[in-house]
Structure 1
């Protein structure tokens, strides 16, 4: 028992059987199992009411595909956070308010994303809601302080205030849309969302002032893994804008979460490195569209995304997803190293991520074999 506790301490776990660590595990498992078990029932209902994406020249599905997976992810995430709150209430009042603010903003974007999935909304209306969700964070103390960003000059408060607000809105809206734009191949966003959430979870767990962030990331990570079981190619359900907005917004917002004395601006390096894949993808797409004379680069979908380019080379949605998972994991481990996380923690996190992804992919492929076999032997 003593050797096990010593090993746990090397991985950043102060008390292997303590209330904090156990609550994180329960939060993760609650989100994972609820999302895993809930999606088949939600899928049946979505098929009945017509919540589905129709085939077109940009989509890979050949028949209507239920697009309500984001609701299941959000439900699993929210229920797990409630469970965690019951097990270990957050005692710092300001952080409590900030967590509620993140949940409120995420709820708003999930609702708007779901409406857009089913009925369609204009790019301007979606953007306005995203800015409103970012404003919710700002008025509750979650923002980037330009003067707290390392290696940049200190500027007067009269300039720092508006600039910090602008950077925060850009950070939230940019990452929300970056993750959404990646959602074009089965399993990509679900897997990348799981990788990023788990990496940020392992990183936040190394600091005593980020307990609230750990709880939210544990729930998001578990929900992503539960969803991925049904989304790895061939997908039985997709998350739609609702799920992609949830991942992008929550990951961006949690990177700003801390205590009263925590400097949010100095914490952005790790999320930026960890989220390098969606950030670079969106950047190259926007630049390419602007170069082609497209005035509204986010309102003209095409097949110039990284996942489309990889898919064209591999001709396999499964291989494309696995390759991008690997890229996200490499970025994540690099981000952990930049943060100064110890190598045993980095290696253990990487191995855990690989094991979990292999498990859900294997389970999905086995389920697919069982689905195909009766059709081949009627």
Structure 2
């Protein structure tokens, strides 16, 4: 028993029978179970009211598919956080206002994304809302310290302050849109969101002062996994901008909560590496569009994203999703290694994440087989 406790302590689980670890499990499974059972009912309602993506040249679906999955992810996420808050097993009072700011910002982003899914908001409107929620976080103390960025000179506060604000806005708006731009193939964003959430969760769990970040990430990871059960190809429902905005914004904002700031010199290097896939995808797309003379690179969709390139080579949405999951997980492992996380934690994280993804993918494939099987009339 002592050796088991020592092993678990090495994974960041100081007391496997304590209320803190229990709260993380309850948060994760509350989000997972709620989303798992809520999505089918949400899908039926979305079909009735016409919340659906119509087929076009850029989309892979050949028939209308409900696009309200983001509401299901958000519902599971919120319910799990409420349950965790009611348990109050860990000290989060010091960051209560910041957590509430993240939840409020996430709510605004989901609402904006959902309205955009149904009525097509202008890029300027979406950008203004993203700037608004960025300011919301900043005024509540969630801000990147410019002087904490490695390899850059330490500047006077009068100059470092405005630069910190600008950098924070770029971080939040950039990651939110980067995740949204990846949402082009069944299962990609849901799976990548789950991977990144679990990697950041495992890393944050190594530090005793980051309990609030662990709880938020557990809720997001559980909700993503529950949604992925219906989104792995062939998808039964899409998350839409509402879900992609939720995932991107939450990951960006939680990283400002101190999840991975293991020293002033490292700043946001680790979450940047963990989130390398959406960041690199957006970077290469924007550069490519600018090179082709497109003045508004985010307002002219095309098929130059990484997931489109992988799909063109594999000719399989399932293989494309799995490949990008593996890339995201590899980036996460590298980020944890640079964080200084012990290798047993990294290995355990990779195995758990891989097992969870395999589980939901197999469940979706089996369900699809049953859906195709004709019902015999009696």
* Structures share fold, TM-score greater than 0.5: yes
Secondary structure of 1:105's counterpart equals helix
Partner of 1:169: 169
Report the CA distance between 1:87 and its aligned residue: 1.2
Q: 2: distance between equivalents of 1:92 and 1:368?
A: 42
The answer to whether the 8 Å contact 1:257/1:264 transfers is no
Q: Deviations over 1:106-164 (max 9, x none)?
A: 00000000000001100000000000010000000100010112222101111111100
Secondary structure of 2:207's counterpart equals coil
Partner of 1:30: 30
Report the CA distance between 1:375 and its aligned residue: 6.7
Q: Deviations over 1:205-240 (max 9, x none)?
A: 001111100000000000000000000000000100
Cα distance 1:375–1:307, how it changes in 2: closer, same or farther (>3 A)? Answer: farther
Partner of 1:121: 121
Report the CA distance between 1:4 and its aligned residue: 2.4
Report the CA distance between 1:2 and its aligned residue: 2.9
Structure 2 unaligned blocks of 5 or more: none
TM-score by length of 1: 0.97
The answer to whether the 8 Å contact 1:212/1:258 transfers is no
Partner of 2:197: 197
Q: CA RMSD in A?
A: 1.7
Alignment of 1:15-26 (within 5 A): 15-26=15-26
Which one is further off, 85-94 or 32-41? 85-94
| Corresponding pairs, count | 377
Partner of 1:100: 100
The answer to whether the 8 Å contact 1:31/1:226 transfers is yes
Partner of 1:372: 372
Which one is further off, 25-34 or 265-274? 265-274
Report the CA distance between 1:11 and its aligned residue: 1.4
Q: 1: distance between equivalents of 2:17 and 2:339?
A: 26
Alignment of 1:1-378 (within 5 A): 1-88=1-88, 91-258=91-258, 266-374=266-374
The answer to whether the 8 Å contact 1:146/1:265 transfers is no
The answer to whether the 8 Å contact 2:179/2:248 transfers is yes
Secondary structure of 1:255's counterpart equals helix
Secondary structure of 1:233's counterpart equals coil
Q: Deviations over 1:149-196 (max 9, x none)?
A: 222210111111110000000000000000000000000000000000
Report the CA distance between 1:15 and its aligned residue: 0.6
Q: 2: distance between equivalents of 1:77 and 1:360?
A: 18
Q: 2: distance between equivalents of 1:265 and 1:253?
A: 19
Q: 2: distance between equivalents of 1:359 and 1:344?
A: 22
Which one is further off, 145-154 or 303-312? 145-154
Q: 1: distance between equivalents of 2:330 and 2:258?
A: 26
Structure 1 unaligned blocks of 5 or more: none
TM-score by length of 2: 0.97
The answer to whether the 8 Å contact 1:183/1:244 transfers is yes
The answer to whether the 8 Å contact 1:95/1:212 transfers is yes
Secondary structure of 1:230's counterpart equals coil
